[in-house]
Amino acid sequence: MRTFRALLWHDVLMGIRSSGGAALSAAFFALIVILTPLGLGPDTTALKTVAPGLFWIAALLATLLGLERVIQPDAEDGTLDLLRLSPLPLELVALAKIFAHWITSGLIISLLAPILAPMLSLSVSAIPTLALSLLIGTLGLSSIGTAAAALGASVQRGGIVLAILVLPLNIPFLIFGASAVSGAQAGTATSQPLMFLTASSLLALVVGPIAAAAALRLNED
């Protein structure tokens, strides 16, 4: 457990301090949100209808951004070889990396989204659901993303490759997350999409570390 905590702490610090880290994905998220009114026009009713989906699309893209630094630097400087030798099972190594990525991207995005929500004139009543759904869903996004990052660890400059691998697999999160938020805005029940979202995230948290560990194990030779 101590190793797990140390690894988690190390990765979070690396995520915050490295260029292309937490600040970048938060800034990217905010930029997508800010660009939307510039593209669609300042009509508040139009912005209100697209806001739930847009926040979620922005979250999908922004969590994608930090994935390259989850495994790749460790693979390049040899940290990964040491991690393989450590007593911590690779599944838990992967889980630590998932949490670290989530803290430096999903968590920050979830805290940022309520502040940005008025800019797209999202109903105030939908803001708690927005934050909650992002908080839950980004955990699944980080999980699937980390598995893909482990697969692509041997790809040079694999950013675009990662995007193509990850985005189709993340569609369920987009669907459930966005409809929870638009449900909250319309005043209908949000528990069903939120529960599906939670289920998808939990499943991703099981499959993600296993797949990531398998990928890390298979790439050693």
Partner 1 sequence: MQAYANPQRFVSLARTLTPWTFGVAIALAMTGLYLGLIVAPPDYQQGDAQRIMYVHVPAAWMSMFVYGSMAIASAVAFIWKHPLADVAAKASAPIGAVFTALALVTGMLWGQPMWGTWWVWDARLTSVLILFFLYLGYIVLWSAIEEPTRAARAARILALVGALNIPIIKFSVDWWNTLHQTASVFRVSGPTMPAAMLTPLLIMGLAYTVLYVALLLVRMRMEVAQRRLRTIRLSSEALPA
**Member of 6, 164, 189, 195 binding partner 1 (CB under 8 A):** 164
Q: Quick count: other Cβ atoms within 10 Å of Cβ 53?
A: 16
- From candidates 167, 186, 198, 202, binder to partner 1 by CB under 8 A: 167
Under the criterion CB under 8 A, does residue 152 sit at the interface with partner 1?
yes
- Residue closer to partner 1, measured from CB, 65 or 204: 204
CB of 35 to partner 1, least distance (A): 24
Contact 143, 52 (CB under 8 A): no
Distance in angstroms (rounded) separating the CA atoms of residues 65 and 59: 10
Judged by CB under 8 A, the residue of 171, 187, 189, 195 near partner 1 is: 171
Choice between 98 and 108, CB closer to partner 1? 98
Residue nearer to partner 1 on the CB measure, 63 or 104: 63
Between 110 and 179, name the residue whose CB sits nearer to partner 1. Answer: 179
Among 161, 186, 198, 202, binds partner 1 (CB under 8 A): 161
Closest distance to partner 1 from the beta carbon of 58 (Å): 19
| C-alpha to C-alpha distance for 50 and 181, rounded to whole angstroms | 11
> How many whole angstroms separate alpha carbon 192 and alpha carbon 162?
30
Tell me the window of 39-47, 55-63, 67-75, 159-167 that interacts with partner 1 (CB under 8 A).
159-167
- Give yes or no for residue 181 binding partner 1 (CB under 8 A): no
Q: Does 211 bind partner 1 (CB under 8 A)?
A: yes
Which of 59, 220, 212 shows the shortest CA–CA distance to 145? 212
Cβ within 8 Å of residue 103, ≥6 positions away? 12, 15
203 touches partner 1 (CB under 8 A): yes
- Positions in the binding site for partner 1 (CB under 8 A): 144, 147-148, 151-152, 154-155, 158, 161, 164-165, 167-169, 171-172, 175-176, 179, 196, 200, 203, 207, 211, 214-215, 218-219, 221
